[in-house]
Chain A
Amino acid sequence: MSFPDWIVLVVTLVVIIAYGLYKSRTTHNLDGYFLSNRSMPWGLILLSIMGTQASAITFISAPGQAYTDGMRFVQYYFGLPLAMIVICIFFVPIFSKMKVYTAYEYLEKRFDGKTRLLTSFLFLLQRGLSTGISVFAPSIILSSLLGWNIYWTNIFMGGLLIIYTMSGGAKAVAYTQQLQLIIIFIGMFLAGYMVVEMLPEGIGFTDALKVGGRLGKLNIITTGITDKGFNWSDQYNLLSGIIGGFFLALSYFGTDQSQVGRYLTARSIRESRMGLIMNGFVKVPMQFLILLVGVLVFTFYQFNTAPIFFNQKQLSKLRNSELRDSLQWAETRYQDLGVQKREAVSAFLSAPDHGTEEQKANELRLLQKRSDTLRAKVKTWIGSDAVRGDANDTNYIFLRFVVDYLPVGLVGLLIAIIFLASWGSIAAAINSLASCSMVDFHRRLARRRESGETEYQLSKWYTLGWGIFCIVVAMFTYNIGNSLIEAVNVLGSLFYGVILGVFLVAFFFRNIRNSHAVFFGALMAELLVLTVFIITKAYPETFRLGFLWLNPIGAIGVILFSFLLSGIMKKRSSHSGSS
């Protein structure tokens, strides 16, 4: 990275920290620290919700996802808008009227203390681990790409934000997220604009879409239906996006304290709802635009030969292994194909009639298929026993392009964006981890009630503690290896469904009053989700199931088991009563 890039990076990060500290002034009690004294307008709620959900990986990985798999990933968010309305009607008023600090506090009022502690514990476990990975995931990419020390990158990625998060709590988190998102959107827009600008003369935005579309990257809507029927293992299609995505969004926004904690800071119930509803309207188009940048990058690489593998560190490993001759052969072949593709894509775009255009498109598709086959071969070699490397380079595609092609200054801004996106979601996460630790455990289990000032000071220490915990998890993740990142992507789905199920029983099944039935029902459902997950991993050929389906399984599991246990317990108590 050049000196001006470093200046842009450092200045952007310092401005964010200073702004966070400037906005840190709040009353010294839990209301001020975790709820900003319920004073936020809906615009700030909206940006805070968006900033919490959009992590660094959203901006790094989504363009790479579009590059490799096309834009169908956008369907993952189709269930979100409807989930926002359901949360506004049923979840928000209950949290708001009960004036809770955490979502799980309500469960004690509805059921009992142990159900509240169980759900809060599941949240702390899942969110604590996944936030650690949220620190590690962008750090490993930046350290690999720019040659930075991974341990120091982890500390800067997860450590600097603790300064303002600890100091100002939810208020500092919300205000910094607002500024972070503005900078992120400007940076992503500039990146997209630059890709189109860097296409050869006479090739514009529509041409780029035409090339991307013909090569299968504009597959925005897919049904998941094959000759053998519906493909249940397909992660992203219309049905899994609407149903699975609905349950995932319902549990994430309705029961995950990192999100609930954002809209609890609203100045009124109306402001909470407006923030959530508007999130439902902007999320899908925003994700579409981020993915579109990936398609534009893909088209750019039709005119400029792409690296055969985007993670140079892993490629070096392969180059130094016994498979070096195979790699050399593949690279030479890949370069030749690159030259042929450049000619084919120009011929395709300048075709005089429809027939010629179709013919050239077929030639281009064939060349792309050959390139993909070569890339697949290289990936297999990297993952083989001879190299034992990480064969997935999706997360490196966009940043590799940024570092290799974008002008000085913009590279620094894009790297800063990775930090900002990361900070936005991590800050909200550690703020929510601290609120659950303080309110659901410390306050709930303490023998005497502390003063407001003491609780405020303790909350700051919890924030610091969780911040350090997440950095430590990130450090250990590095020692364990990259495969954990993939595992953590499904971590949320392992727990979210069950937590949602408990809330659904609480809200909609008023006749279930036996708290033991719900508690043990939740444990059984969690066991069911884990069993299904293990079976799909152990027998991937026989049992195929996309991870999004674990959410409805968990939620419906809790409802069914609670009903069953409630009935059994009722019968038993009436038997023992009559005898």
Chain B
Amino acid sequence: MSKHPDKAPLFPNWNYWYALVVAFLILLIVLFYLLTRKFR
């Protein structure tokens, strides 16, 4: 599986986007989890 050489928008490479999206998802899940717990 070879990574496509095309440049990622805004960042130097796609790894930054992967990291950003995973971090965003984790943040959402944590926030939602806290919300679930707070109002349970």
Contact A212–B39 (Cβ < 8 Å): yes
Q: Which residue on A lies nearest to B14, using beta carbons?
A: A89
A81 vs B28: C-alpha distance in the bound complex, in angstroms? 11
Q: Which of A85, A213, A288 contacts B40 (CB 8 A)?
A: A213
Interface residue A78 (Cβ < 8 Å from any Cβ of B): yes
Contact B39–A214 (Cβ < 8 Å): yes
Could you say which residues of chain A place their CB within 8 Å of the CB of B36?
213, 218-221
Interface residue A281 (Cβ < 8 Å from any Cβ of B): yes
Could you say which residues of chain B place their CB within 8 Å of the CB of A219?
36, 40
How many residues of A sit at the interface, in one of the four size bands?
20 to 34
Interface residue A84 (Cβ < 8 Å from any Cβ of B): yes
Tell me, rounded to whole Å, the shortest Cβ–Cβ distance linking B11 to chain A.
10
A288 vs B8: C-alpha distance in the bound complex, in angstroms? 29
Interface-located stretch among A272-280, A334-342, A344-352, A410-418:
A272-280
Interface residue A35 (Cβ < 8 Å from any Cβ of B): no
A288 vs B35: C-alpha distance in the bound complex, in angstroms? 12
* A88-B17, A213-B38, A219-B36 known; A284+B6 contact, CB < 8 A: no
Q: Which of B3, B9, B28 contacts A284 (CB 8 A)?
A: B28
Could you say which residues of chain A place their CB within 8 Å of the CB of B33?
220-221
Contact A85–B32 (Cβ < 8 Å): no
* A74-B32, A89-B14, A269-B6 known; A210+B21 contact, CB < 8 A: no
B residues near A (Cβ < 8 Å) are 1, 3-4, 6, 8-9, 14, 17-18, 21-22, 24-25, 28-29, 32-33, 35-36, 38-40
Q: Which of A78, A89, A210, A220 contacts B25 (CB 8 A)?
A: A78
A267 vs B19: C-alpha distance in the bound complex, in angstroms? 27
A268 vs B22: C-alpha distance in the bound complex, in angstroms? 26
Tell me, rounded to whole Å, the shortest Cβ–Cβ distance linking B37 to chain A.
9
Interface residue A270 (Cβ < 8 Å from any Cβ of B): yes
Q: Which of B25, B38, B39 contacts A82 (CB 8 A)?
A: B25
Contact A93–B4 (Cβ < 8 Å): yes
Residue interface mask A192-228, B partner, CB < 8 A = 1: 0000000000000000011011100011110000000
Could you say which residues of chain B place their CB within 8 Å of the CB of A81?
21, 24-25
Could you say which residues of chain A place their CB within 8 Å of the CB of B21?
81-82, 84-85, 280
Tell me, rounded to whole Å, the shortest Cβ–Cβ distance linking B1 to chain A.
5
Tell me, rounded to whole Å, the shortest Cβ–Cβ distance linking A152 to chain B.
42
Could you say which residues of chain B place their CB within 8 Å of the CB of A284?
28
Interface residue A238 (Cβ < 8 Å from any Cβ of B): yes
Could you say which residues of chain B place their CB within 8 Å of the CB of A89?
3-4, 6, 14
Tell me, rounded to whole Å, the shortest Cβ–Cβ distance linking B13 to chain A.
10
Q: Which of B9, B24, B29, B35 contacts A274 (CB 8 A)?
A: B9
Interface residue A185 (Cβ < 8 Å from any Cβ of B): no
Could you say which residues of chain A place their CB within 8 Å of the CB of B35?
218, 220
Contact A221–B4 (Cβ < 8 Å): no
Could you say which residues of chain B place their CB within 8 Å of the CB of A213?
36, 38-40
Tell me, rounded to whole Å, the shortest Cβ–Cβ distance linking B3 to chain A.
7
Tell me, rounded to whole Å, the shortest Cβ–Cβ distance linking A512 to chain B.
13
A62-119 CB contacts (< 8 Å) to partner B? 74, 78, 81-82, 84-85, 88-90, 93
A440 vs B3: C-alpha distance in the bound complex, in angstroms? 29
A285 vs B32: C-alpha distance in the bound complex, in angstroms? 10
Tell me, rounded to whole Å, the shortest Cβ–Cβ distance linking A187 to chain B.
25
Interface residue A508 (Cβ < 8 Å from any Cβ of B): yes
Could you say which residues of chain B place their CB within 8 Å of the CB of A78?
25, 28-29
* A81-B21, A238-B29 known; A277+B14 contact, CB < 8 A: no
Could you say which residues of chain B place their CB within 8 Å of the CB of A508?
1
Could you say which residues of chain B place their CB within 8 Å of the CB of A88?
8, 14, 17
A174 vs B40: C-alpha distance in the bound complex, in angstroms? 41
Q: Mind listing 16 A-B residue pairs with CB under 8 Å?
A: A74-B32, A78-B28, A81-B24, A82-B21, A82-B22, A84-B21, A85-B14, A85-B17, A88-B8, A90-B4, A213-B39, A214-B39, A220-B35, A221-B36, A269-B6, A274-B9
Could you say which residues of chain A place their CB within 8 Å of the CB of B6?
89, 93, 269
Tell me, rounded to whole Å, the shortest Cβ–Cβ distance linking B25 to chain A.
6
Contact A218–B40 (Cβ < 8 Å): yes
Given contacts A214-B40, A221-B32, A508-B1, 19 further A-B contacts (CB under 8 A): A74-B32, A78-B25, A81-B24, A84-B21, A85-B18, A88-B8, A89-B6, A93-B4, A209-B39, A210-B39, A212-B39, A213-B36, A213-B38, A219-B40, A220-B32, A221-B29, A270-B9, A277-B9, A284-B28
Could you say which residues of chain A place their CB within 8 Å of the CB of B40?
213-214, 218-219
Could you say which residues of chain B place their CB within 8 Å of the CB of A212?
39
Q: Which residue on A lies nearest to B6, using beta carbons?
A: A93
A261-305 CB contacts (< 8 Å) to partner B? 269-270, 273-274, 277, 280-281, 284-285, 288
Could you say which residues of chain B place their CB within 8 Å of the CB of A273?
8-9
Tell me, rounded to whole Å, the shortest Cβ–Cβ distance linking A93 to chain B.
5
Tell me, rounded to whole Å, the shortest Cβ–Cβ distance linking B30 to chain A.
9
A464-494 CB contacts (< 8 Å) to partner B? none
A68 vs B29: C-alpha distance in the bound complex, in angstroms? 22
Q: Which residue on B lies nearest to A214, using beta carbons?
A: B39
A51 vs B33: C-alpha distance in the bound complex, in angstroms? 28
Contact B17–A277 (Cβ < 8 Å): yes
Could you say which residues of chain B place their CB within 8 Å of the CB of A238?
29
A468 vs B17: C-alpha distance in the bound complex, in angstroms? 42
